[in-house]
Structure 1
Amino acid sequence: MGRVFMVDLEGNIYICKHCKTHLSTEQDIISKTFQCKHGRAYLFNNVVNISVGVKEDRMMITGMHTVVDIFCVGCGSNVGWKYEFAHDKSQKYKEGKSVLELYKISGPHDSNDLASDEDE
């Protein structure tokens, strides 16, 4: 296998809670209104230092989506998922975007943000 090349980010960044690998920046947040099985999550335009799992169709609150789980390349922890395909036209904006689950990351997010009702 070879050595993994890791991207270092600057500014207000989000990191893996387990190994501190850089994952994304505050500027890449598209939405703070996502929900996952274990609480809140954010939708990001760009996430780095991840590997992806197998594509699968999942029924979520907003409908059927083809997604892949995303994993931190530093420690292998599952940190969220990436939208590959949205079956509903109104959800197409999610394609190619990633969701990071707040309980799996550290960063400038405010733990007092109101919970929402959007996905998973």
Structure 2
Amino acid sequence: MGRIFLEYVSCEVVHVCSLCRTHLADHDSIISKAFQGRHGRAYLFSDVVNVSTGPRENRLLLTGLHVVADIYCNKCETRLGWKYVEAFEETQKYKEGKFILEKAMIAKEEERQNFDTFVEILPSTLTAAA
């Protein structure tokens, strides 16, 4: 197995894998919180990162038949939810290409650090302290 490269989501509130804390999605990419997953409530996201998809399968959900692919955390391989690949009913087409993250499998974190800002340490401050 090769090295795993994980993407950092730079935002104020980020959703992470509840097991390994890998960044998954910006809180602002939530489309709806009114979804049901295998383990209870779930959120529909427009974009997620650091996930891999399993094989496509037909799945009969509460809103009808869809083609979906389960999604897994790239770091710990926990099943987090699924990706909507295709919806057969016209009223459900808006879900295509979107992601379900199950609330039981994710956590919400507020970012305390801004990694875009670095403090420059000047050599003169190092010698003055010595």
TM-score range, shorter chain: 0.7 to 0.9
- 1:1-120 correspondence to structure 2 within 5 Å: 1-10=1-10, 11-107=12-108
* Separation in 2, partners of 1:38, 1:66: 20
How much is the aligned-residue C-alpha RMSD, in angstroms?
Answer: 0.9
Q: What SS does the corresponding residue of 1:54 show, helix, strand or coil?
A: strand
Q: What SS does the corresponding residue of 1:55 show, helix, strand or coil?
A: strand
TM-score scaled by length of structure 1: 0.87
Q: What SS does the corresponding residue of 2:36 show, helix, strand or coil?
A: strand
TM-score scaled by length of structure 2: 0.80
More helix by share: 2
* Separation in 2, partners of 1:104, 1:92: 25
* Separation in 2, partners of 1:46, 1:37: 20
Could you tell me which runs of 5 or more consecutive residues in structure 2 were left unpaired when the two chains were aligned. 110-130
State the 1:37 CA deviation.
Answer: 2.4
* Separation in 2, partners of 1:80, 1:51: 11
Larger radius of gyration: 2
Structure 1 segments of 4 or more deviating over 3 A? none
Could you tell me which runs of 5 or more consecutive residues in structure 1 were left unpaired when the two chains were aligned. 109-120
Q: Which of the pair has the greater relative contact order for Cα pairs under 8 Å at 6+ separation?
A: 1
% same residue: 48
State the 1:36 CA deviation.
Answer: 1.4
